[in-house]
């Protein structure tokens, strides 16, 4: 039984978030959590919380279905980052000009599922 967790409107550019998500795709959840705890990137903290949330969602789904749950059997079956809306801000520049700053957001999705044996 697979479980999904999403974070929407994460204030981080999708390119930076994808670097971290690519590290955990296809790994077991224990290995993914260890990787994220020690990754130096700023995006690793929200992705770590997201993987923990997906594991908790899987536990709840298993309890509701009356199935056996073992966290060690779960793997990150899918993880992807989509682009969210971009906030546009303006920075004043010399001689009355304005410079546009794009503050990008991301939608991150993590799906965990048991290993197929």
- Per-residue pLDDT, averaged over 53-63, amounts to 95
Answer whether residue 117 is part of any domain.
Answer: no
Domain range for 101:
1-112
pLDDT digits (tens, 9 = 90+) for 74-87: 999 999 999 999 99
Cα–Cα dist 21/107, whole Å: 12
pLDDT digits (tens, 9 = 90+) for 97-111: 999 999 999 999 999
Number of domains in the chain: 1
Question: Residue 42 maps to which CATH number?
Answer: 3.90.470.10
27: left (phi over 0), alpha (psi -120 to 50) or beta: beta
Indicate the SS3 state at residue 46: helix
Cα–Cα dist 39/64, whole Å: 34
């Amino acid at each position: 039984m697979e479980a999904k967790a999403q974070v929407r409107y994460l204030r981080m550019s999708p390119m930076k978030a994808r670097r971290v998500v690519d590290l955990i795709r296809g790994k077991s959840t224990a290995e993914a959590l260890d990787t994220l705890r020690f990754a130096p990137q700023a995006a690793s903290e929200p992705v770590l919380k997201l993987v923990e949330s997906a594991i908790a969602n899987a536990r709840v789904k298993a309890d509701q279905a009356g199935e056996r749950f073992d966290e060690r059997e779960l793997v990150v079956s899918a993880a992807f980052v989509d682009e969210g809306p971009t906030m546009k801000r303006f920075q004043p520049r010399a001689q009355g000009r304005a410079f546009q700053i794009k503050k990008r957001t991301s939608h991150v999705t993590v799906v965990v599922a048991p290993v197929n044996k």
